[in-house]
Amino acid sequence: MAKILDQPRYKCALAAMQTVQAISRALPILHSGPGCAEKLSGSVGSSGLYSPHIFPCTSISEKEVIFGGDDKLEETIENSLKVIDADLYVVLTGCTSEIVGDNVEDVVRKFKNNDKPVIYASTAGFKGNNYRGHDWILKAIFDQYLKPADHIEKGLVNIWTGIPMHDPFWLGNLRELERLVAELGLIPNIIFGHGKGINNINKIPEAEFNLLVSPWVGLESVRFLEEKFETPYLHYPVLPIGAFETTKFLRTVGEYAEVDAAKVEEIITKHEEDYYYYIERYADVFLETRVMAKRFVTVSDAQNSLALTKFLVNDLGLFPSKQYIVDDTPEEYRGLIAGYFEDLNYGIKAEAGFSSDGHEIHSEIESADFNGYPLILGSS
Least distance to ligand SF4 from the beta carbon of 323, Å?
Answer: 28
Rounded distance between C-alpha atoms, residue 82 and residue 24, angstroms: 19
Least distance to ligand SF4 from the beta carbon of 88, Å?
Answer: 21
Query: Contacting ligand SF4 (CB under 6 A), which of 39, 139, 235, 322?
Result: 39
Cβ proximity to ligand SF4: between 17 and 293 the closer is 17
Q: Establish if 81 lies at the interface with ligand SF4 (CB under 6 A).
A: no
DSSP designation for 30: E
367, amino acid identity = S
Q: How far apart are the first and last CA of the chain?
A: 30
Q: Establish if 90 lies at the interface with ligand SF4 (CB under 6 A).
A: no
Q: Establish if 162 lies at the interface with ligand SF4 (CB under 6 A).
A: no
3-state helix, strand, coil in the chain (%, to 5): 45, 15, 40
Q: Interface residues for ligand SF4 in 123-142 (CB under 6 A)? A: 124-125
Name the segment binding ligand SF4 (CB under 6 A); options: 31-39, 154-162, 178-186, 286-294: 31-39
Strand partners of residue 160: 212
Asked if residue 160 lies in contact with residue 196, where contact means CB atoms within 8 angstroms, the answer is: no
Measured in whole angstroms, the distance separating CA 230 from the mean position of its chain's CA atoms is: 23
Q: Establish if 14 lies at the interface with ligand SF4 (CB under 6 A).
A: yes
Q: Establish if 36 lies at the interface with ligand SF4 (CB under 6 A).
A: yes
DSSP designation for 42: T
Other C-beta atoms lying within 10 Å of the C-beta of residue 303 = 28
Q: Establish if 29 lies at the interface with ligand SF4 (CB under 6 A).
A: no
Query: Contacting ligand SF4 (CB under 6 A), which of 32, 47, 59, 323?
Result: 32
Look at the chain and count its residues: 380
Q: Establish if 122 lies at the interface with ligand SF4 (CB under 6 A).
A: no
Query: Contacting ligand SF4 (CB under 6 A), which of 86, 88, 95, 350?
Result: 95
Is residue 373 classed as helix, strand or coil in its secondary structure?
coil
Summarize as ranges the residues that interact with ligand SF4 (CB under 6 A). Answer: 12, 14, 32, 36, 39, 94-95, 124-125
